[in-house]
Amino acid sequence: MQNSWRCSRLEMARSDILDAKMSYKDQQIAEAAVVLEARFATLETKADILKAPELKALYEQIRTLPDEQRASFGQEVNALRQELQAKIDAASAVQEVLPPLDITAPMDVNAQIPELLPTDQGTTHPLTQEIAAIVDIFGRMGFVTEESREIDDQYHMFESLNFPKGHPARDDYDTFMTVETDADGEPFIAPAHTSTMQNRTLVKYRENLSKGDAIAAIVPDRVFRNEDLDARHEHTFYQVEGIYVAKGVHAGMLIATLQEFLQEYYGQKLEVRVNPFYFPFTEPSFEFALSCPFCDKKGCNVCSYEGWIELLGCGMIHPNVLRAADIDPTEYTGFAFGCGIDRLVMMKTGIEDVRHFESAKLDFLEQF
Amino acid sequence: MKVSLNIVKQYTKVDLSVDELVSKLNQQLGGVEQVTDLADKYKDAVIVRVLSAVKHDNADKLSVCIVDDGGAVADVSRDQAGHVQVVCGAPNVRADMFAVWLPPKSTVPASYEDKEPFVLDVREIRGVLSNGMLAAADELAIGTDHEGIIEIDPSEWRPYTTELKPGASFAAAYGLDDTIIDIENKMFTHRPDCFGQLGVAREISAILKGLPADSNDVDTRFTNPDWYWVKPAFEPGKGLELKVFNDVPDRTPRFMAVAMQAVAVGSSPLWLRCALVALGSKPINNVVDITNYVMLMTAQPTHAYDYDKLRGAALGVRMAKSGEECSLLNGKSYVLTEDDIVIVDGEGIIGLGGVMGGGNSEISAETKNVVFECATFDMYTVRKTSMRHGIFTDAVTRFNKGQSRLQNDRILAWLMTFAGQLSHAEQASAVFDLPGNTGQLDDVSLSGEIPISADFINARLGSKLEQWQIGGLLRRTNFASYPSDDKSMLLVTAPFWRTDIELPEDIVEEVGRLYGFDKLPRELPMRSIKPAAQNPSVVLKQRIRHSLSRAGANEVLTYSFVHENVLRRAGQDPADAYRLGNALSPDLQYYRLTLIPSLLGQVHGNVKAGHDSFALFEIGKGHTKDQLDDAGLPKEFECVASVITDKRKTGAAYYQAKRFVEELLREFGLRASVTYEPFVLDAMTKKAAYFAPGRTASIIVDGERIGRVGEFTPTVRQNFKLPDYSAGFELSLTKLLKLQRPHGYVPLSRFPHVTQDISIKLPGEVSYGDVYQLAQRTLATTLQPDTTAHIVPFAIYQPPEGAARTISLRIEVTHTDRTLTEAEVTGYLEGIAAAAAEAYPVPADV
C-alpha cells in the first residue's frame, strides 16, 4: 500500500483557504464580510452564501453611490464575492478528499469487525417470493424456468410472434422504444410481454420433441408498458409466460393445466372459463377467467362484484410461431399463456396499490 | 365497436335478455366493454299531432299550440277534447304536422348525461300555460339544428314497423329504444368485418344457434341482405366526364368510383339521423350521412367528393411526394412523406387515402354532382400514415385491419341506391373498378378452398366433432363446406368478407368458437417422471436473496429506467445510457447503467420515514450503450447491488459493506478465494463513478474482477442526501454463477484446537492483506503434517500519533491425531513474527 491512512497534503492546502481572512477598507463591507464568514460555517449548502441578503444589499448600494466612490466600492464588493466563491470551491474540494482506507482489512483501525444487521430485519420482496412459488409449482408440473431480457429487439417482440411489420395489434402493447437502433435500423424495445422469449425457448428445447419429450417452460420476468401510473397501472411489472409443445396438445389441455396451477397457487378448488380473444401469436386465442377465490363467486371487491376474475391471455401457439422456431406445426401443437404476476400477488395479499411494489419503501417491504 | 341491438334485430332474431346476450358474446365472440341503455334517455318523448298553432297574443315569435297525444301521457292538464296546450317558439310549427313532444316531468334527452339533467315542467309563458315543449333536433340530441322543431313525415320509409300515430313512442318509432353494446376493438383486430353492424349481427346469429342436431341439412345459415350477398351488375351510366386512375396497385388493391348528378343535398330522413346518433356518429347531410351509414353497417369506409370541385374531372390514387402538403377536413395541414397514399384530382391532393378527405372537395349545400369512392388500401400503409401524422378516424380503425377487397362493388352499389333514394342522385358515369395487383376481384373468397379433416380440428380442440357437425357450425357464418370425393376431408371456403382465414388453424378457431370453448374436455397432458431441470441462474438468485435477507438486508425492486438527473447525481454520463424515445413519463428517460443509483435514490425517503439502520439490495440488470452481446443485442449486465446505511453510526461504512460481501461470498464457497484491490476510476469503470477512490475496492476472485465494494463520493452523498455512514457493493451475477463452488470442508478433528494471538507492529503502508497473506504463507511452509491452522482477524490498533499500526491475528491450530502443545503453537507464531519483522521492518522512530 502506497497511501498513508492520514490526511493528504492537498487537503491541508485547501483548509488554508477556508481559514483565510481578507481585509476590506470599506467599513460596511468589512462588517458584512465578518457576518457572512460566520454564517458560511453554519450553512449546510455552502453555495447559498451567495444568495445572502447582505451581499445583495451591497450590490444594490453600488448604483446609489456618487461616481467617485462607486468604482472602489464596487471592486471591494466583487472581491468579497470572489472570496466567498473561493470558500465554496474549497469546501467542496475538501469534501472530495477523504482519507483512504486499508481496503484489505476486515475492520477500521481501533474498531471492531462490523456486525451484519439483525436477521429479523431482513426481507425478500413479495413479488420475488411469489415468483419463487410459481416457479416451484410449475417446476413440480415439469416446466423449466427461463429468464427474459430488459432490452430486446422487435423481431422477438413482434415478428417471431406473427406480428408482421405494421401489424395493428402492435399498437396494443404500448411498447417503450429506444432512440438507439439495432443493425436493421429498428429501435430496441423494452419487452411488453415475456413472450419475447417464446422463439428462443422453442429453439433451445426443440431437441426435446425428437426425443419424445415435451417443451415445457415458463418465463417469469419483468415487462414494461408505456402507461401513466396509478393505483392499478404500472409501467413496470412482472409476467409469467408459459409454453407447452408436444404431439397431440389441444386447447382442453391448456385450460386444464392453468386450472391446476391456479388451484395449487390459491390452495383451493376453482372454476375457470375461457372467452375468445385475439392475439396474433395464438390461434385460437382466449381470455382466461377464474372464479373469485375470495368470495366463492358471490361477489366481493377483489372481483369487482362479478364473481369472476379475468386473469390472463392464452391460446394454441400459432403455426407461424412454431415454424419460426423450425418446429413442424402439422406434427406438433402447443399452448402458451401470459399471466400478470403483480395482480395475482395483489389479490392474494390484499395490496391496494400496485405502485408499492417498485417503491422500495421499507414500511411496505417489512410486512413480507 | 358500438353495436345497436335494434339494428342487429333487423337481421337476426334475438330472443334472450340483454344480460344473457352479453354473456354469450363474452363467451363466443369477444369482450363486451359497456352496455348503454338508450331507451331510458328517450322514454318520455311522444309523437303528437299539432291540431292548431295560433300566434301568442303577447309575443311575436311564439305560437300557442294544441296537440293530440292520443291521451298517452298521464297527469297532464287537458282541454275538454282531451288535448294539451304547448307554447312553441319554432317558426315551422303549424297545424296538422306531426312533432315530438316532451311532456312535463320529462327530462330533455340532450341533458340526459348532464350532472343536473334539465327536467321540464308546466310553465306560464307570457300569460299562457305551456305543458312541456315540442322538441328540436338539438334537444333530442340527434343534431345541432335549433332552427325549428322536428317535423315527422308519417309517409316516410322507416326500418321499424311501429305505427306512427299520436301518442306513439318516438324512441320506438325511430329505433332509439335501443341497447348499445360496446365490444372491445382489440377483439376484432383480425376481424375487419366485425367493424360493421352486419358482421356482428351475423356472429350473433351464429352463436345463438344450438349445436346442429343429428341431421346434416338443418340450415342455420345467416341470411345476408341481398345488397350484400348478391354481386351487382352496373349500368354503363353517362352525363359527366370522369377520369379515374390507380397509380399504386401494390398498395391499393381496389379503387372504385362513380359520378352521380342532380344531387339534392339536404338533411337525411329522421330514421337515418337517429341510426347514426345511436351508433355515436353525427348527422351532417344526406350525402355524407349515407357514406357514414354504409360504413357503420358494413365496415367499409367510403367517401363522397363534390364533382365540380375535382379539377380536371379526375380522381385517382398515388403515393405522396416527399414534402408535399395537404389540408384535410379537420382544418389542419400536413407535410407528407413518400409512404403516404393520397387521393388526387387532376391537379393535386384532395385527401389522405384511407385516413381522411380533404377540405377542398367537401360536400356542401351547393353541391350538385358527387363522386363516390369505395376503395381498399393496404392496412400497413394506412396504419403508418395514421401514426405518423397522429390522425385517428373511423376510417383508419377499419382500414388498418384490412378490409376485404371483394366487397367494394356491393357496397358501392348499395351506396348508389341510397343516394338515389335519399338525394335523387342519378348515375352519371361508368362505375370505375381499378384492381390492384393482389388478385382477381371476382373471387368469391380470399381464402380459396381449404381442405381440413375432422381429426385435424379435434386434435387441436380436444373435441370429438363429426365432419357433418363441423360443416353445420361453419355454415352458420356463411362458410361453404363440402366433403371431398373420398369423404376424408372437408373442403372449406370462407365467405368473401373474411380476411382472417388463411390456414387450417384459422378454421379450428372458427369451429371452436362456434361450438363453445367451454365445452372442450379438460385433461392434463401426460408426461414422464423425468425431473424438469433447474435453471442455475434462478437458483443463484434465490440463494442471494436468502443469504442477504438472513444478513438483515431488504430486497427491493426499482425501475429499470431513470431520469437523467439520477445518472448525473451519481456521477454517471447519460451519453453512456440507452435513451427511451417515447416514454410518457419524464422520469423514464434512460435505461439505468447500474443498479446502485436507483438504490441511492431510495435511501433518503426511508431514513425520513424513521428507518435508521438498513441495507437495501436489488437483483437486476444494467445496460451500457454500444456494448452488444453475441446476438447483436445490448449486453445485459446482471448483478446484485446493495446500499448499507446507518444514520447513528460514524466511521468507515466500507467495512460494513465488505462484511455483507464476505457473507455473500461465503454462501457461494468463495470466502477463502477473495482478495481486494484498490478501485481505480478509469474509462472502464467510469459508470461506477459514485464510488470514492481510496475507500473502494475491486473484488477479485481467481484473478477475475467480480464487483466493487466501497463508500460513495462526498458529492454523491450530498446529492442523494445519504447519511455519512453509507456504503455499498455490486457483484456480477454472470461471474458469480461461473465462479461459485461447493463449500470447502475440512474434516473435524477429535482433538481440541489450540488458540494463540499474535500482534505485529507494522509500518503505516503495510496493509492487513499483506500481513494476512504473509501469515498464511508462513504457516503453509511451517505446519507439520496433519496440522491445520485457521487465521481470524482480531484487532487493528493505531495510536493517535504515529503511522505504525499493530495488527493482531488469532491463530487456531488443530492436529488430526493428537492434542497440540502450547509450545508447538507458539513456535508457529514466532515463525510468523520473524517473517513479518524481515518483510516489513518498522523504522526505529515510529
Q: What is the pLDDT of residue B444?
A: 86
Closest CA of chain A from B145, distance in Å = 38
What chain A residue is nearest to B552 in terms of C-alpha separation? A122
Q: What is the dihedral of CA B365, B370, B376, B379, to 10 degrees?
A: -30
Distances in Å between the Cα of B187 and the Cα atoms of A171, A219, B647 are 13, 25, 55
Are the beta carbons of B614 and A117 separated by less than 8 Å? yes
Tell me the C-alpha distance between B753 and B354, whole Å: 88
The confidence band for A31, taking pLDDT boundaries of 50, 70 and 90, is: confident
* Cβ–Cβ pairs < 8 A, chains A and B: 367
Q: Which three cell numbers stand for residue B678?
A: 484498490
Q: What is the pLDDT of residue B437?
A: 84
- B602-646 tens-digit pLDDT: 999 999 999 999 999 999 999 999 899 999 999 999 999 999 999
Are the beta carbons of A113 and B655 separated by less than 8 Å? yes
For A278, the closest of B190, B505, B583 (CB atoms) is B190
Candidates A95, A104, A259: best to mutate against B (most CBs of B within 10 A) is A104
Low-confidence ranges of chain B (pLDDT < 70): 210-219, 440, 845-846
Angle at B297 (CA atoms; ends B388, A166), nearest 5 degrees: 25
Domain ranges of chain A: 9-96, 126-365
Closest CA of chain B from A137, distance in Å = 11
Are the beta carbons of B522 and A259 separated by less than 8 Å? yes
Are the beta carbons of B559 and A105 separated by less than 8 Å? no
Name, in order, each residue with C-beta under 8 angstroms of B515's C-beta and a sequence gap of 6 or more. B211, B461, B463, B465, B473
Tell me the C-alpha distance between A141 and A256, whole Å: 12
Confirm if A141 and A257 have CB atoms less than 8 A apart. Answer: yes
**Class of residue B496 by CB neighbours under 10 A (exposed 0-12, middle 13-18, buried 19+):** buried
Q: Collect all residues of chain A within an 8 Å Cβ-Cβ radius of residue B591.
A: 150-151, 178
Three state DSSP letters for B593-610: CCCHHHHHCCHHHHHHCC
Q: What is the pLDDT of residue A10?
A: 40
For A117, the closest of B27, B534, B552 (CB atoms) is B552
What chain A residue is nearest to B840 in terms of C-alpha separation? A1
Closest CA of chain A from B539, distance in Å = 10
Closest CA of chain B from A195, distance in Å = 17
**Class of residue B213 by CB neighbours under 10 A (exposed 0-12, middle 13-18, buried 19+):** exposed
For B651, the closest of A111, A132, A285 (CB atoms) is A111
Q: Which three cell numbers stand for residue B107?
A: 327530462
A297 HSE (CA, 13 A, CB side):
8
Candidates B671, B767, B805: best to mutate against A (most CBs of A within 10 A) is B767
Candidates A94, A116, A262: best to mutate against B (most CBs of B within 10 A) is A116
Are the beta carbons of B31 and A95 separated by less than 8 Å? no
- Residue A294 clears pLDDT 50, i.e. is over it: yes
Q: Collect all residues of chain B within an 8 Å Cβ-Cβ radius of residue A167.
A: 380
For A362, the closest of B606, B693, B803 (CB atoms) is B606
Angle subtended by helix axes B18-28 and B197-208, to nearest 10: 90
Sequence length of chain A is 368
The confidence band for A96, taking pLDDT boundaries of 50, 70 and 90, is: low
Q: What is the pLDDT of residue A4?
A: 40
Closest CA of chain B from A281, distance in Å = 12
What chain B residue is nearest to A96 in terms of C-alpha separation? B714
The confidence band for A123, taking pLDDT boundaries of 50, 70 and 90, is: very high
The confidence band for A93, taking pLDDT boundaries of 50, 70 and 90, is: low
Are the beta carbons of B581 and A187 separated by less than 8 Å? yes
* Cβ atoms within 10 Å, residue B424: 14
> Does B393 or A17 have the greater pLDDT score?
B393
The confidence band for A314, taking pLDDT boundaries of 50, 70 and 90, is: very high
Candidates B526, B554, B700, B791: best to mutate against A (most CBs of A within 10 A) is B554
Closest CA of chain B from A216, distance in Å = 9
Closest CA of chain A from B380, distance in Å = 5
Q: Which of B603, B672, B585 is nearest to B641 (CA)?
A: B603
Closest CA of chain B from A260, distance in Å = 9
- Residue A117 clears pLDDT 90, i.e. is over it: yes
CATH of region A126-365, choose from 3.55.10.10, 3.40.50.620, 3.40.630.30, 3.30.930.10: 3.30.930.10
Residue-averaged pLDDT of chain A: 88
For B557, the closest of A274, A358, A362 (CB atoms) is A358
Confirm if A306 and A294 have CB atoms less than 8 A apart. Answer: no
Are the beta carbons of B796 and A115 separated by less than 8 Å? no
Q: Collect all residues of chain B within an 8 Å Cβ-Cβ radius of residue A149.
A: 633, 636
The confidence band for A19, taking pLDDT boundaries of 50, 70 and 90, is: low
Closest CA of chain A from B330, distance in Å = 23
Q: Collect all residues of chain A within an 8 Å Cβ-Cβ radius of residue B611.
A: 362
First to last CA, chain B: 88
What chain A residue is nearest to B541 in terms of C-alpha separation? A128
- A315-348 tens-digit pLDDT: 999 999 999 999 999 999 999 999 999 999 998 8
Q: Collect all residues of chain A within an 8 Å Cβ-Cβ radius of residue B768.
A: 102, 104-106
What chain B residue is nearest to A357 in terms of C-alpha separation? B557
Burial of A319-337, coded b for 16+ CB within 10 Å and e otherwise, reads bbbbebbebebeebbbbbb
For B579, the closest of A179, A224, A278 (CB atoms) is A179
User: What are chain B's domains?
Assistant: 39-177 (2.40.50.140), 243-435 (3.50.40.10), 536-739 (3.30.930.10), 754-839 (3.30.70.380)
Q: What is the pLDDT of residue A67?
A: 81
- Residue A12 clears pLDDT 70, i.e. is over it: no
For B505, the closest of A141, A278, A283 (CB atoms) is A283
Q: Which three cell numbers stand for residue B400?
A: 388498418
Q: What is the pLDDT of residue B549?
A: 97
Are the beta carbons of A168 and B581 separated by less than 8 Å? no
Task: Give the ipTM of the model, two decimals please.
Answer: 0.83
What chain A residue is nearest to B598 in terms of C-alpha separation? A360
For B379, the closest of A168, A179, A235 (CB atoms) is A168
For A276, the closest of B383, B517, B675 (CB atoms) is B517
- B568-580 tens-digit pLDDT: 999 999 999 999 9
Q: Which of A311, A345, A302 is nearest to A125 (CA)?
A: A345
**Class of residue A27 by CB neighbours under 10 A (exposed 0-12, middle 13-18, buried 19+):** exposed
Q: Collect all residues of chain A within an 8 Å Cβ-Cβ radius of residue B551.
A: 116-117, 119, 122
